[in-house]
Every structure is written in C-alpha cells, then in structure tokens.
Amino acid sequence: MKICVLCGGRSNERDVSLSTGTMVAKALRASGHKVVFLDACEGFELNKMSPSELYDAEIPIAERKISEAAPDVSKYFGRKEGFFGKNVLDICREADIVFNALHGDEGENGMVQAVLDLLGIRYTGSGMQGCILAMNKHLSKQLFIANGIPTPPAVYLTNGISDDPDWRRHIGFPCVVKPGSLGSSVGVSIVYNDAELDAALREASRFESLVIIEKYIRGREFSVGIVGGKALPAIEIIPKHGFYDYKNKYQAGCTEEICPAELDEAVAQRMGETAVKVFKVLDLGAYARVDFMMDESGFYVLEANTLPGMTPISLLPQEAKAAGISFNNLLETIIEESLSLKK
C-alpha cells in the first residue's frame, strides 16, 4: 500500500508531530508499505520525479527529537503558499491513504480534514466534524454536560471578557487556565490565587482569544485510548515534578506511566465505557484518546484527543501494548478502521 505520512505543520506541537511521523513512517515501511514521510508545511521538491516515483524511492527518514519548549513556527505564517508546502497535495493524491500524523491547529481542528475530503483523499482518524468538536474545548464540554458525562466546571473568556463574572465563587482556586483549543498542555497553567491569575491569562491569551478557566481536580490522572470503538486499558500518568505539561509529556524520564492502571475493576470498566461514550458523542472515528482526572468523588473527563501522539513515550502505544497489540499492528488497525469509514 502507498501511504503518505503527513506531519510537521505549523502548530506549537510541530516537533511532536515530526517525532510521531518518524515513528509511524519507519514502522509502516518495515511492514512492507511504500511510505513517503512528508512535512505538510515544508513540502517536497520533486524535480523531475513524479509523485508516483517518490513512493518507490524509499528516501531515508531522519530521527526527530522533541525540544523541551514548543518550537518557533512563525516562518510558516503569512507566506504566499499558505499552509501546504510545495507538491504536498499532489503527493497525497498519489497515496492509497494519508496517515495523518499532524498535531494541533489546522491538522487537528478539521481544516486539513476538510481539504482532503474535498479532494477525495482518504486519511486516518476522525473526520472534519469530529475534529472540530473535540478540538474546541468549549463545544466538547457543552456536549459532555448535555450527555451526562462528568467534566470539571468551567467558565470561558473571549478577549478577556468572562461569560460568568462571579466564577471565583463556584470554581475558585486552584484552577486551570488554558487556551480553548490547543493540545500538549501548551499555554496551560495551574493557578492558586489571584496574584497568579493575570500572568496565566496572558500566557493562554498569547495563543488564542478563547481562554478556559476550569476547576482544578486534585487527584490521579488517567488516559484511555479508543481503537475501532473499543477501549484499551487505562494508563495512569504520574509526573515526577509539577503537572503533565509539555516537558513532562515529551521528555523521557519526566513522567511515570502505569499500564494497565491500578484501578478497581468496576472503576476501570466505567472509565472505559465513558471513554467510548465520549468517542460517540463527539462523532470521532477510527481512534482517539480520552483524558481523565479522578479524585475521591469520582472521575472527570478533561478532553478527547483525535490524533494521539505516536512518539517513543506516547500513551496510546503503551495502552495498545498492554492489550497485546504491537505498534505495527496498532498502525495497521488504525488504517483498516479509517479505510472502512471513508470508502
């Protein structure tokens, strides 16, 4: 099968995407597929080569490392060619399927999915609608509430104006301040008092105008992967310092993960069932990951991730391994599920 692994992009999660793309492309090539590793924003200079010939070329795939801080992506904005680099869509058209390894912004908010849909290009993961709903934390939280899915209470600020001026009374401190639609904990702060609030709001507002102030759930953190509509074993996430931020997510040795999580069997089952419900409510497809916090009163859904990372220390591959699914077989299942949705 000819597979284009589309990654990179121009979100603050660019490095994560390139690392995911590298892992995925190498594994798929090892499984016998004709694979092109393609940076969505950089593109590829074909010279006299056709897109079809590119899939036979087996161009070496370099190792990618994730830096401790989000990368500078400013050069990819305001340019004449827009989001996609040279020849990207022509190379994607030649593939039997595009493995979407983008993270954040256009790659995960439905925009790239819409372009590929319009061009009749098949791709992995959720469609445009599911991506829009999951990426916008305001929309997804409203759907959780409407469908009886437990989620921490929150208020929303647009350009600094709150929809609930009295939020301190029923949310209070500590609270979580975060951008309305970013991933990888970019722009996220835990705020313990009013003195810390302004700095946290400024940090979140650097990335987008919608900011969420959410009740902080002090307790244990979990994630549950969904593949083909079925829940994988839950994984517990224990950062060694601070919370599960960008550095703790992507730097080896910063976080301890336990999979399967040490949970009461009934609780683990309910968590898996809730993750599947989130998957359906948000109209997701093929695979996703649902994040939870749990305190003494129960568990709460934080958000759903439509394009979970596939880096060497990512959560979904660990959960799949605990279920007896190798990394290569996980990729094959994702591709099969995606093709069945986009016939």
Give me the active site residues, please. Answer: 13, 184, 250, 289, 291, 303, 305, 309
Task: Classify 191 as helix, strand or coil.
Answer: strand
- Measured distance CA(175)–CA(14) in Å, rounded: 28
**What's the token pair of residue 223?**
């994630």
Q: Are 154 and 136 in contact (CB under 8 A)?
A: no
Q: Are 95 and 36 in contact (CB under 8 A)?
A: yes
Beta carbons within 10 angstroms of residue 132's beta carbon: 22
**What's the token pair of residue 225?**
């992967």
Q: Are 193 and 216 in contact (CB under 8 A)?
A: no
Beta carbons within 10 angstroms of residue 58's beta carbon: 11
AA identity, residue 190:
I
DSSP for 76-101, written as a single string: GSS-TT-SS-BTHHHHHHHSSEEEE-
- Measured distance CA(51)–CA(53) in Å, rounded: 5
**H/E segment holding residue 204:** helix 194-205
**What's the token pair of residue 127?**
């469609």
Interaxial angle between packed helices 265-281 and 137-146, expressed in degrees from 0 to 180 and rounded to the nearest 10? 120
Across the strands, what pairs with 121? Answer: none
Q: Are 4 and 91 in contact (CB under 8 A)?
A: yes
Exposure letters 181-208 (e unless 16+ CB within 10 A, then b): bbbbbbbbbbbeeeebbeebbebbbebe
